[in-house]
Structure 1
C-alpha cells in the first residue's frame, strides 16, 4: 500500500459530516505519525512524498 492509498483509505473512513478541516487534520496526523516512526534517514523522502501528494491534490481540486 502506498501513501496515496493510505490517505484515500483514511479519508473514506471519516464520517460523512467531516468537513475539509477534519480531513486535513486526520491526514496530517496520520502522515506525522508515519514520518515520526520512520528511521531518521528515511524521513526526508516521506516528507517530500507527502508534500508532493498534497500539491497534486490541491492542483487537481483547483483545476
Structure 2
C-alpha cells in the first residue's frame, strides 16, 4: 500500500509525538501509531481534527502525488 499521509513527518517537524496527538484527539496511541505507519488512515473528519490540532492545512497531511 502506498503511503497516503505525511502525519509522521509533520509530527517530527513540529517535535510532537504520536502519544501527544492521541491525547489531543482522545484516541489510543495504537491508533495514532497505525496512522503514522500508514497501516490505516483516519477518516476525513478526523483528518480535519488532526490538521487543526497541528495548525496545518489538511492538504499538508496528504502525500503529494505529482508526477515529475
Q: Give the number of the structure whose residues are more often helix, by fraction.
A: 1
Shared fold (TM-score, shorter chain, > 0.5): no
Structure with the greater alpha carbon radius of gyration: 1
Tell me which of the two structures has the higher relative contact order, counting C-alpha pairs closer than 8 angstroms and 6 or more residues apart. Answer: 2
TM-score for both structures, normalised by structure 1: 0.31
